[in-house]
Amino acid sequence: MKCPNMVFLGKPRRLQAWCRKDALLDPRRMVIVSAISLILVIRLLPESNLEGFDLLIGRTGDSVLLLAILALVAALFFIQCPPPADKKPTTQDNLLASAEAIFEQHLRIDEEIDKRLNEVTADTEHSALFIITQMRQLYDNASRVVQYLEGTNLKAGDLGQAITDSVERLMEVNTFISQLPAKIERDLESVQTVVSEFKEMNGLIESVQAISMQSHMLAINAAIEASRAGVAGRAFKVVADEVRSLASNSSKVATLIKEGLTRASSAVNGGMASSIAESSQQLQGISLATASISILQENFADMSQYYKTRFTVVTKHNEDLAKDISEVLGQIQYQDVVRQSVERIRTAIVQRNLLLQSAIGEGAPDPDLLRELPERIDQLKREYLVEDARHVHLTQAELGNDAGLKIELF
């Protein structure tokens, strides 16, 4: 119990205690009330009625007034500094102090719990946001892989088209080359025909040479005869010389033609035939190379198809990943459901503490409020349950209860 002088310092609790009904019989209060009443009586009564009360001062009534004021001051002093022995705590005071201490502890525990709940809510939100960020990065990375594959697929498509075009051109060349040996063979036959004709021409050349020889002999004989004829045969001798010259030239030309024909025949029969055979083998090699390119094209087409299939599979996986990520992001909404549930609990605790505080908190316990406290707390509980029931709960959501009401389009 503290000093009652707190009454005058405006401590409401002490003022309340002072005004309680059971304090009316307090002797200190009786002295003060009596002194004030006496002062009022002396001031209100006419002086004639106060004659005879001039024991100390000599003025009518003033002695009595002085005594009343002294009594009032003594009573106030007594009130302000009461002897400790008179203020033994009562059982009620002890109970009140205990209740206050319990309430204070209770509030401190609630404050700690509230802090932890707040931290847990913040932690779950932080974790949820982190998961969302990670999920988004996962999707973005997967999308980049798909974009890369898509680019590669397009490039492979372009490359495939270029290869196809090249192979088509090579196939055209191959067709030409494959037909070339037969064509050369035909040309060779033509050449050989020419060579055989050359051989036939050899006989003609020999005839020419023989004619040349005979002409030469004839020219010699003619020259001899012309010499014998003397002047008359002079002109004939000129003709004979010309014939001999002609025969000589014919023989030379025939020889040259024969040599040319012989070289041409040798070239055709020897070098050209073997060259054509060699070329045919090379052409066959080229033809085989073209076949290899064709096989390469088929392999590329297979590979391209393989990568197209892979790309399709990866794209499908990416779509599935997007759906799964979307599902996970939906599940993360549980954090908000939990947060709101925790918020409702925190609000209910604060309201309950306000009720307790108003009943047994700062001021003296209000008996009326104390009596109503159980009912008011029960009312608070009912309000909390009604408010909580308005919101979805995890067990409902997990079990899929009220599926029809979960999504409703108006």
Partner 1 sequence: MAKTILVVDDSGTMVMSLRNSLEIAGFNVVTASDGVIALDKLKSAPKPDLIITDINMPNMGGVEFIGKARAQSGFRFTPILALTTETQQAKRDEAKKLGATGWLVKPVSGNDLLRVIKQVLPGA
Query: Cα–Cα distance between 139 and 325 in angstroms, integer?
Result: 8
Binding segment (CB under 8 A) for partner 1, from list 128-136, 260-268, 301-309, 374-382: 128-136
Choosing from 52, 390, 395, 400, the residue that interacts with partner 1 (CB under 8 A) is 390
Choosing from 26, 114, 125, 372, the residue that interacts with partner 1 (CB under 8 A) is 125
Angle at 292 between CA 291 and CA 298, to 5 degrees: 90
Convert 29-41 into a string of H (helix), E (strand) and C (coil): HHHHHHHHHHHHH
Is 304 or 396 the residue whose CB approaches partner 1 more closely? 396
Query: Cα–Cα distance between 43 and 64 in angstroms, integer?
Result: 11
Choosing from 129, 173, 194, 213, the residue that interacts with partner 1 (CB under 8 A) is 129
Query: Cα–Cα distance between 357 and 365 in angstroms, integer?
Result: 9
Establish if 339 lies at the interface with partner 1 (CB under 8 A).
yes
Side chain identity at residue 294, one-letter code: S
Confirm if 220 and 243 have CB atoms less than 8 A apart.
no
Establish if 317 lies at the interface with partner 1 (CB under 8 A).
no
Give 364's DSSP letter: -
Phi–psi pair at 281, nearest 5 degrees: -65, -45
Query: Cα–Cα distance between 338 and 214 in angstroms, integer?
Result: 135
Establish if 327 lies at the interface with partner 1 (CB under 8 A).
yes
Establish if 281 lies at the interface with partner 1 (CB under 8 A).
no
Establish if 350 lies at the interface with partner 1 (CB under 8 A).
no
Choosing from 211, 332, 342, 348, the residue that interacts with partner 1 (CB under 8 A) is 332
Establish if 407 lies at the interface with partner 1 (CB under 8 A).
yes
Q: 219 burial class (0-12, 13-18, 19+ CB within 10 angstroms)? A: buried
Choosing from 221, 381, 391, 399, the residue that interacts with partner 1 (CB under 8 A) is 391
Is 322 or 350 the residue whose CB approaches partner 1 more closely? 322
Establish if 405 lies at the interface with partner 1 (CB under 8 A).
yes
Choosing from 335, 355, 360, 361, the residue that interacts with partner 1 (CB under 8 A) is 335
Establish if 146 lies at the interface with partner 1 (CB under 8 A).
no
Is 192 or 315 the residue whose CB approaches partner 1 more closely? 315
Establish if 135 lies at the interface with partner 1 (CB under 8 A).
yes
Query: Cα–Cα distance between 33 and 21 in angstroms, integer?
Result: 15
Query: Cα–Cα distance between 237 and 232 in angstroms, integer?
Result: 9
Establish if 322 lies at the interface with partner 1 (CB under 8 A).
yes
Q: Nearest distance from residue 384's CB to partner 1, in Å?
A: 15
Binding segment (CB under 8 A) for partner 1, from list 19-27, 110-118, 222-230, 388-396: 388-396
Establish if 384 lies at the interface with partner 1 (CB under 8 A).
no
The closest alpha carbon to 295, from 191, 207, 187, 167, belongs to 167
The closest alpha carbon to 310, from 116, 92, 148, belongs to 148
Site for partner 1, rule CB under 8 A: 125, 128-129, 132-133, 135-136, 139, 322-323, 325-337, 339-340, 390-392, 397, 402, 405-410
